[in-house]
Chains A and B, each alone.
Chain A
């Protein structure tokens, strides 16, 4: 917890603090106004209430006036109170498979980190390939990306950060000045961001999107299918990202022996691989295997929870060891988002918005993908990627119905770009961690990130246009 002192003139602070109650008062009045408007043609009264609630939640998610989880809890209690869904149904949605998958994934990742296995892998790879400046940069970048295939990108960034910081200091790179220092931390951030969209495990947003899709339409996307569809985008972006980092921030150093010495020392410090690391690694590998090949049959949440139980049966982890890795706020937030999304869908509100409001924006399926992916990639730079999904997906699924597009396609068009935040530290914790080093500035990140964001959007749409049909996704 950091103390911050607002040094603005006191009258400005008073006004800005006074805005908060005014904001909530205004929001309450807006809600009352929307709910009391005459119900438009083609929309049910439940649909009108769902839209009113959706607008309020959207404003709260975008402005961040309340923590995302609290907005979600507000949505959960308000849905039955307004009679949009009944109580039992509403609270049952909180037990969605996606929520339990996320919970299981948090615990498994926590066990891997707690055992020290993830740090060992990171150090071993950097030790092996980090003897040249390009090798070190590439190994950090690819390591961040590949670890983010298997665990939350935020956790990967947090885990690798102290190691990269030590490397930067060990090489005597000047914070804010060294071009190679900027490249190292941008590699860390971008590796996590790009790798994080590759599988269900890189962040909780993909399971959220899949969960919302399943609740709304009954359609499922399994672990393997998602990887097949998304992997080319990830590979191309990894290549572009690496070229971008090296182009924007060319290395100014040649002598790498200090970094090598650091790795040697660190490797000695962690000693030989322990029983706990072996065991957790095996559980993780088995879990991923089942997710990939039996996920559709057994259910990814079931596999995750069985693995968690296994970790405890084998005494590989204690509850207090992993408690700090479980982000209960995220879990609450996702439960609420799924509830609200389902309320929008079942009340007919999402379809009504798609038919009457957004249908003019796009005239073809590819245009819809382009518009939604663009909206998503822009919004995710400024707000939580989960909130972007919670806002756009219910409407997107409604649009899919109008244009006879598979709802899966819209889900991809939103879930994948929602993770591709390159520009700002507030966009995603991986970026924030990189900027917090002092080596890369917000300006550096914004400059290089804007180019990367544009390229990512183009690559995603090109892959959708030319590759997706090859794997059976008909647009």
Chain B
């Protein structure tokens, strides 16, 4: 009998991410799915919800997807993934309606924010100074040239309009703000500050930020104080030598040690389970990724493990794509390490472009009922409000501003 992953959402998610899926236009239309905005977008793909609320973004438009064993089919309004031997019932996430809208300044909202899982991801300035210095991360396909001005800087009002539209449609629960490298000591938090402040003032929501480690720890404090509920400083590669080779900008202008130090410090400031760092699976030996998982979880940082897949226009294309069988143990290890270090898994959830730590349970055969119950609660309307209220209360209790008072 043919080996199938259809009944294990963890394996299936990775296999789909690596192999893609075949789907014809008629099915896409029935699912209400429009093509993604840009092929070089790291998150370009078809958003599918597998059993056990396992979100996945599946490549479907690239050439390799046409060779995939998986096919998305539709029967009587229901969607199934068929692998030749059987099928599994899934949901396809329709393209949000707000993608068709424009800001009052005429920018399509889909240019500003994209929904993935429960997150609306926004990069107010799609620029990264590494590209100007020719030291960009070699897997990156962005060409985010500051001087070239490829992407404009979206205003706070434009971002607010986008978040407002996404929330009105009920398409997101958490705002994810990110910024590329700029040569400042604050790691980009000063730039993001007005966006965070404005979003917090207008919406009762949680905010995650993806930034570069600041040169001084006080900026980590500042990030938390202004309203960031979660922070990601993405090291990407744990192996020292490979980090230098693959991420020359991060190595030269920030340094691996500073990444580790900033993450270690941030884990003492932010709530348990809200400080995270990407380690790309497939760009270094799995043993090295596992060592990174052990290191991060010991200091209270959640490792997030995207699987490497060469993007169109990226410079790094020589790497062999790992098989699902090769990467599966890494995710099992992730689940065990996170559990052993009592790291909260509620925050990193419903991410369609990576396998979350809790999804690692599918690789070790643990049902993790209590954890999934808690995670499911935090996805309810009441749970979302409770999470926001607790995060706000925590900030209120922990943050103080000092000025000389007589």
Contacts and interface: CB of A to CB of B under 8 A. Distances in A.
Interface of A: 1-7, 10, 13-14, 17, 67-69, 327, 329-330, 333, 384, 429
B406 A2 contact: no
Contacts of B35: none
Given A10-B394, A13-B397, A13-B398, A1 B224 contact: no
A1 B398 contact: no
B275 to A, nearest CB: 13
A5 B406 contact: no
B397 A2 contact: no
Contacts of A327: 406
Q: Which of B225, B394, B398 has the most CB of A within 10 A?
A: B398
Given A2-B403, A4-B221, A6-B400, 20 more contacts: A1-B401, A3-B218, A3-B221, A3-B222, A3-B225, A3-B399, A3-B400, A4-B402, A5-B221, A5-B225, A5-B399, A6-B399, A7-B268, A7-B398, A14-B397, A67-B405, A67-B406, A68-B406, A329-B405, A330-B406
21 contacts: A1-B401, A2-B401, A3-B218, A3-B221, A3-B222, A3-B399, A3-B401, A4-B221, A4-B399, A4-B400, A4-B402, A6-B399, A7-B269, A10-B397, A13-B398, A14-B397, A17-B397, A327-B406, A329-B406, A330-B406, A429-B404
Nearest to B268: A7
Question: Which 7 interchain pairs have the tightest Cβ spacing?
Answer: A329-B406, A3-B225, A67-B405, A6-B398, A13-B397, A3-B221, A1-B403
A438 to B, nearest CB: 14
Interface string B216-231: 0010011011000000
Contacts of B401: 1-4
Interface in B266-294: 268-269
A54 B31 CA distance: 76
Contact of B406 (A1, A3, A10, A69): A69
A327 to B, nearest CB: 7
A67 B399 CA distance: 19
A429 B403 CA distance: 13
A14 B393 CA distance: 10
Contacts of A6: 397-400
Contacts of B394: 10
A60 to B, nearest CB: 13
Main secondary structure of the interface of B (DSSP, over half): helix
Interface in B224-275: 224-225, 268-269
Interface string B388-400: 0000001001111
Q: Which of B221, B224, B394, B403 has the most CB of A within 10 A?
A: B221
A384 B269 contact: no
Interface range, B side: 10 to 19
Contacts of B406: 67-69, 327, 329-330, 333, 384
B401 to A, nearest CB: 5
Contacts of B398: 5-7, 10, 13
Nearest to A331: B406
Interface string B200-225: 00000000000000000010011011
Contacts of B224: 5
Contacts of A333: 406
Contacts of A384: 406
Nearest to A17: B397
Contact of A1 (B221, B268, B269, B402): B402
A1 B404 CA distance: 8
A424 B222 CA distance: 28
A13 B398 CA distance: 7
A425 to B, nearest CB: 12
Contact of B269 (A5, A10, A329, A330): A5
A212 to B, nearest CB: 18
Interface in B351-400: 394, 397-400
B220 to A, nearest CB: 9
Contacts of A17: 397
Nearest to A13: B397
B107 to A, nearest CB: 33
Contacts of B397: 6, 10, 13-14, 17
A292 B105 CA distance: 68
A119 B80 CA distance: 79
A429 B400 CA distance: 21
Contacts of B399: 3-6
Nearest to B225: A3
A13 to B, nearest CB: 5
Nearest to B397: A13
A329 B403 CA distance: 13
Contacts of A7: 268-269, 398
A166 to B, nearest CB: 20
B265 to A, nearest CB: 10
Nearest to A387: B406
A2 B402 contact: yes
Nearest to A328: B406
Contacts of A429: 404
Nearest to A329: B406
Contacts of A14: 397
Contacts of A330: 406
A367 to B, nearest CB: 33
Nearest to A67: B405
Contacts of A4: 221, 399-402
Contacts of A3: 218, 221-222, 225, 399-401
A384 B403 CA distance: 16
Nearest to B402: A2
A14 B397 CA distance: 7
A3 B404 CA distance: 13
A17 B393 CA distance: 12
Contacts of A5: 221, 224-225, 269, 398-399
Nearest to B219: A3
Contacts of B225: 3, 5
A327 B225 CA distance: 28
A408 to B, nearest CB: 27
B405 to A, nearest CB: 5
A34 B165 CA distance: 60
A216 to B, nearest CB: 24
A327 B406 CA distance: 9
A220 B281 CA distance: 81
Nearest to A16: B397
Q: Which of B222, B397, B403 has the most CB of A within 10 A?
A: B397
A377 to B, nearest CB: 21
Nearest to A68: B406
A409 B335 CA distance: 75
A3 B401 CA distance: 5
B404 to A, nearest CB: 7
Contacts of A2: 218, 401-403
A390 to B, nearest CB: 12
A285 to B, nearest CB: 29
A3 B403 CA distance: 9
Nearest to A386: B406
Contacts of B405: 67, 329
Nearest to B269: A5
A441 B117 CA distance: 51
Nearest to B396: A17
Contacts of B218: 2-3
Contacts of B400: 3-4, 6
A1 B405 CA distance: 11
A5 B394 CA distance: 11
Contacts of A68: 406
A191 B306 CA distance: 61
Contacts of B269: 5, 7
